[in-house]
């Protein structure tokens, strides 16, 4: 394996198994006082797995499931969660 493949795998792993859920925790609990950081991280991992599975399932049932469709949908869900967080914070 070359170094680019390893970097790609690490970035993909972090994005699929951490980022969507972590951002979603901010949409659910917008204030920093609501959760401690370690709780937010652990909940982020769990929610990311759930979000990724549901996005994949919905894509498989509605349109063709491809790598590009999955990435675009996960990015969309993450950005939607971030927008909900910003709206709840009042900014």
Alpha helices in the chain, H assignment, sequence order:
3-17, 19-28, 37-62, 67-89
For the entire predicted model, the pTM comes to: 0.84
Q: Which residues of the chain have pLDDT under 70?
A: 91
pLDDT of the residue at 82: 94
Torsion of CA 45, 42, 20, 2, to 10 degrees: -50
pLDDT at 91: 61
């Amino acid at each position: 394996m070359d170094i680019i493949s390893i970097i790609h795998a690490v970035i993909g792993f972090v994005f699929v198994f951490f980022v969507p859920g972590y951002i979603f925790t901010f949409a659910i609990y917008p204030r920093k006082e609501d959760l401690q950081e370690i709780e937010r991280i652990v909940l982020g991992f769990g929610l990311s797995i759930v979000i990724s599975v549901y996005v994949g399932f919905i894509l498989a049932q509605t349109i063709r499931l491809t790598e590009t469709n999955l990435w675009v949908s996960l990015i969309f869900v993450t950005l939607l969660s971030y927008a909900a967080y910003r709206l709840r914070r009042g900014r």
